[in-house]
A and B are shown apart, each in its own frame.
Chain A
Amino acid sequence: MPKLLWREPVGTATGPRVVTLGAVAGRESGGLVVLLVAVGILALVSNEFLTGGNLSNLARQVAIFGIIAVGELLVILTAGIDLSVGSVLALSGAVTAQLLVAGVPVPLAIGVGIAVGVVLGLVNGMLVTRLKLPPFIATLGMLGIARGIVLVITDAKTVQGSGLPQGFQTIANGTVLGVPNLLIIAAGVTAAAWFVLTRTVFGRYVYAVGSNPESARLAGVPVRTVTVSVYAISGLLAGLGGVLLTSRLGAGIPTAGTGFELNAIAACVIGGASLFGAKGSALGAATGALIMGVLNNGGNLLAINAFYLQIAIGVLIIVAVAFDQWNTRAAARSG
């Protein structure tokens, strides 16, 4: 069929545009500013902050947490939420550790550990799309189930055996050209998520589902598939995080990852994601994770009471969202 143009196009989109920081740097701009300010202040007041040792330490602390946050972001973009990531992380890590203790080859143990995360993610997705459970409820249930399973299979004891294989421990503790492996993996995950969200059809569908699932369905978007996929990816990244944490600590800790889900959500929100869906970016989630890491790290360096840091991060979340609300209203006013 020929092009469906039946009359001369008339360019109508020529009106003036208000250029804002957000328009240039995207929605993570607020987060970037906060991050730069925090880094700047710490560099000034602490001699240790900018040392290689501290930075790679910071990178190791933030990396796993950043990976989880990116997975959480995908779910949040569809206006969902995944509360199970912390428990799934613990289960994947413990399963991997147990397999390694049992003498299973490293690649297989890693594969099974990650697969556990994917399967639990798929179950979350099915509960949301097939049983129509609210994501909050479905993943709250999974939070308890996965944590319970890991406590049962480990008998609530650290899985270490006579020490995990050295090759496995190197994954999270090694470096390439002085850059911690964990940082490379986290950067890779963030870049991959950024690519998927901005350059692929699937990525656009994720935003469409978060914007309005019924409209998306009527525009031919496979809403169920997209929804199940984001929970599976979140599970996959939680599984990966669990494997990496086990590698870093050289042991499977059944209580690992407690409260990670809330930190991951906080990172997304600080990075500009909206819990109502369709707003946020992979870079923003990574930035949010970095901000929280930098604050914790700086607090340690300056010997600030960790309890005050919790207050600071709480305030930051509220300020970030309040600022975003204010920005949205300002944009609406300027038309």
Chain B
Amino acid sequence: MSAAPLTSSAPVLDLKGVSKSFGPVRALTDVSLRLLSGEVHCLAGENGAGKSTLIRVLTGALRRDGGDYEIAGEPVVAPTPASMRAAGVQAVYQELSLLPHLSVAENLFMGRLPARRGLLDRRGLRTRAREALDGVGLAAVDPDTVVERLPAATRQLVEIAKVLTAESVKVIVFDEPTTALTEEESARLLDHIRRLRDGGVAVLYVTHRLEEMFEIGDRVTVLRDGGLSESGPMSDYDEDRLITAMVGREVTSLYPESPSAQTQGDAGVPVLRVRGLRRTADAPSVDLDVRAGEIVGLGGLLGSGRSELLLSIFGADPISTGEIQIDGRMVKPSGPRSMMEAGVGLLTEDRKELGLLPELSIRENVTIASLRAGSRRGLLPGRDLAEEADRLLDSLRLRAGSYDQPVSTLSGGNQQKVLLARWLLTRPKVLLFDEPTKGIDVGAKGELYTVIGDLARQGLGIVVVSSYLPELLGLADRVLVLRDGAIAGELGSGASEEDVLRLASSASTDPAGTDEEGATHA
């Protein structure tokens, strides 16, 4: 590792007036960015602001159209990903780049596996992998483990370990590294990044989570609509000013007014009532009530069973025992179809794998769940349904060239709106949201929160799972915290992030100390 001296004032990486167009679309216009060694530089901006394009120009994945690019004073002429890596620009991507079926060791050194005359040097590989893993605190991970068996947080660290094995590490780009991580795991990752920074690496950190920027950033550059909005020391900014710089307008409050279900209809029957739900015979039993107009948050660590609970309620995962009532009527959870017909909708966390039909058009994606109800004798429903779908998309402010284009051409926030429209079209009584704003930019987040608040006011029962605590607490009327598949406790709307964390993690931080539960509750 050839790190620059700690206190050099000359930039390690210097972009000046860089532009990039895709056909007629200008993705970047006259953007400049200087990264100094030993500094964490945050890159902020909404989706579509040009962050990904900038990163791809930086890492050599894209050729810039204009402007200058220098690494440690040397001009970069014809960058390719390989040449940029060799020059010391490394990246940890949001979409993990590990090969899931190969071992950790093979992944760490893929492309430059130690070998003698074409034969793999297995022992050398293991030793070097061991060192690399120890370097990121993964002493417990066996280099021979197959990557797909590792939890997301560990994979993220393996990814970092992989980057650190490069010959030269001057700059590391982190693109949304904490998206799949819980608060605690994120905190550990940020610690790692701090250590890298203190070791003299220049870090470019991209995240949607504002408080992370304040936690780790020394300097921030804000992009808006492909241009440079602002750049300056992090200490010059507070949350409001940063958001204003990103969206170009004042955002008063991200979260909707509490619809205060308590005053609306606590006398009514819960619109969703779950009793004694067990996923397997020896799994803990879960009870859950959601009243009409109420937003219930589900908190907990990654792996605490939040997503699984939603999938079980929706009938997508088999359950062992338990009963589910929708609007007072018992529903046999025989599959997503029966729950859908009873009035339940589920927006999954993984939109790509468990939501979108990428080859189908936007309109076809919206209507797919309502086709049967609107069909006569098996024929596709007429214009009415399509028009209703269009109206819903219009009211959700979907940004698309045409509703006939494939849904895969949309950005994350707009894809989420398509899925939301799909469920709204089925006239649901209960909507389950799993990490609704994952990978969605600030502006679209605010819109989505407004919509969720509006839907609750319309009388829907809503369940939101979120790892992002400000969101969970800002959105929900009350929060249930899950731990190891069981409900560890319930918190009112006034609860703090610490309350949630304490409930979520008291057992897992001290597995033997179940008798301490009483103390943490008090």
| Among A5, A203, A222, A333, contact of B392 (Cβ-Cβ < 8 Å) | A5
Asked if B397 contacts A12 (CB within 8 A), the reply is yes
Majority SS of interface residues in chain A?
Answer: loop
Instruction: Tell me the bound Cα distance from A219 to B421 in angstroms.
Output: 12
Q: Is B346 an interface residue (CB 8 A)?
A: yes
Which residues of A (203-239) have their CB < 8 Å from a CB of B? 203-205, 207-208, 210-212, 214-222
Task: Kindly report which residue of chain A lies nearest to residue B406, judged by CB atoms.
Answer: A331
Q: Within 8 Å of chain B (Cβ to Cβ): is A20?
A: no
B394 near A218 with CB under 8 A, answer no
Evaluate contact between B401 and A219: CB separation under 8 angstroms. no
> Which of A8, A9, A334 has a CB less than 8 Å from the CB of B23?
A334
> Contact: A218 with B336, CB < 8 Å?
yes
Given contacts A12-B394, A215-B353, A334-B23, contact A210 B402 (CB under 8 A): no
A311 at the A/B interface (Cβ < 8 Å)? Answer: no
Min C-beta distance of B423 to chain A, whole Å: 9
Decide if B375 is an interface residue (CB 8 Å cutoff): yes
B438 at the interface (CB under 8 A from A): no
Segment at the A interface, from B57-65, B158-166, B365-373:
B365-373
Which of A4, A15, A208, A216 gathers most chain B CB within 10 Å? A4
Q: For residues 1 through 32 of chain A, which have their beta carbon under 8 Å from a beta carbon of chain B?
A: 1, 3-13, 15-17
Separation of A279 and B357 alpha carbons in the complex (Å)? 12
Q: Do A215 and B357 touch (CB < 8 A)?
A: yes
- Taking a contact as CB atoms under 8 Å apart, the answer to whether A4 and B424 are in contact is yes
Interface size on A, residues (CB 8 A): 43
Known contacts A13-B400, A215-B355, A334-B23; decide if A202 and B378 are in contact (CB<8 Å).
yes
- Mark interface residues in B314-335 (1 if CB within 8 Å of A CB, else 0): 1010000000000000000001
Instruction: Compute how far the CA of A214 lies from the CA of B22 in the bound complex, rounded to whole angstroms.
Output: 33
- Cβ-defined contact, B371 with A201, below 8 A: yes
- Judged by a CB distance under 8 angstroms, whether B3 is at the interface is no
Give bound CA distance, A11 to B375, whole Å: 26
State whether A277 and B359 are in contact (beta carbons under 8 Å apart), knowing that A200-B378, A220-B340 are contacts in the complex: yes
**Residues from 336 to 369 in B contacting A, C-beta threshold 8 Å:** 336-337, 340-341, 346, 348, 353-360, 364, 368-369
Task: Scan B147-166; emit 1 where CB is below 8 A from any A CB, else 0.
Answer: 00000000000000000000
B residues 216-254 near A (Cβ < 8 Å) are none
**A210 and B355 in contact, given A3-B388, A6-B458, A15-B400 (Cβ under 8 angstroms):** no
B194 within 8 A of A: no
Whether A1 lies near B393 (C-beta < 8 A) is no
Please determine whether B372 and A220 come into contact, CB atoms closer than 8 angstroms: yes
> Is A278 positioned at the interface, with any CB of B under 8 Å from its CB?
yes
Instruction: Name the interface size band of chain B.
Output: 35 or more
Q: Let me know if B113 is at the binding interface, CB within 8 A.
A: no
A199 at interface by CB-CB < 8 Å: yes
Which residue in chain A gives the minimum CB-CB distance to B454? A6
In the complex, what distance in Å separates the CA atom of A333 from the CA atom of B388? 31
Query: Do A212 and B380 touch (CB < 8 A)?
Result: no
How far in angstroms is the closest Cβ of chain A from B333? 13
Kindly state the separation between the CA atoms of A5 and B388 in the bound complex, as whole angstroms. Answer: 10
Is there a chain A Cβ closer than 8 Å to B41's Cβ?
no
Pair B359/A10 contact, Cβ less than 8 Å: no
By the criterion CB–CB under 8 Å, are B336 and A333 in contact?
no
Give which listed residue, A5, A13, A204, A335, contacts B371 with CB less than 8 A.
A204
Tell me the complex Cα distance, A215–B415, Å: 13
How far, in Å, is A7 (CB) from chain B's closest CB?
6
Q: Does B2 contact A (CB under 8 A)?
A: no
Residues on the A chain within 8 Å of B346, using CB: 218
Does B25 make an interface contact (CB < 8 A)? yes
Does A17 contact B402, Cβ atoms closer than 8 Å?
yes
Whole-angstrom CA separation of A205 from B364 in the bound complex: 10
Across the interface, do A201 and B379 meet the contact criterion of CB distance under 8 Å? Answer: yes
Residues on A with C-beta less than 8 A from B25 are: 335
> Which residues of A (158-200) have their CB < 8 Å from a CB of B?
199-200
Among candidates B23, B368, B458, residue contacting A208 with C-beta atoms closer than 8 Å: B368
Residues of chain A with a CB closer than 8 A to B392's CB = 4-5, 9
CA distance A222 to B335 in the complex (A): 9
The verdict on B486 contacting chain A, using a C-beta distance below 8 Å, is no
Contacting residues, chain A, for B422 (C-beta < 8 A): 219
Pairwise interchain contact A4-B354, C-beta atoms closer than 8 A: no
Q: Are B23 and A219 in contact (CB under 8 A)?
A: no
Q: Mark B397-416, 1 if CB is under 8 A from A, else 0.
A: 11111110000010000000
The smallest C-beta distance from B214 to any residue of chain A, in angstroms, reads: 33
Q: Report the minimal beta-carbon distance from B34 to chain A, rounded to whole angstroms.
A: 31
Q: How far is the CA of A17 from the CA of B404 in the complex (A)?
A: 10
Closest residue to A3 on the B side, CB-wise? B388
Q: Find the residue from A15, A207, A215, A217 having the highest chain B CB count within 10 A.
A: A215
Query: Does B514 make an interface contact (CB < 8 A)?
Result: no
Q: Which residues of chain B are within 8 angstroms of A279 by Cβ–Cβ distance?
A: 359
B340 surroundings in chain A (CB, below 8 A) = 219-220
Distance to closest chain B CB from A83 (angstroms)? 23
Contact B395 A8 (CB under 8 A): yes
**Set A4, A9, A201, A219: member contacting B375, Cβ < 8 A:** A201
New A-B pairs, 4, CB < 8 Å, besides A219-B357, A333-B23: A6-B455, A10-B394, A13-B403, A204-B364
Residues of B within 8 A of A (CB): 22-23, 25, 314, 316, 335-337, 340-341, 346, 348, 353-360, 364, 368-369, 371-372, 375, 378-380, 388, 390-395, 397-403, 409, 422, 424, 427, 454-455, 457-458
23 inter-chain pairs at a CB distance below 8 angstroms, sorted by A residue, are A4-B424, A6-B458, A9-B395, A10-B397, A11-B394, A13-B401, A15-B401, A200-B378, A201-B371, A202-B378, A203-B380, A204-B371, A211-B360, A212-B357, A216-B368, A218-B348, A218-B355, A219-B369, A220-B372, A221-B337, A333-B22, A335-B25, A335-B409
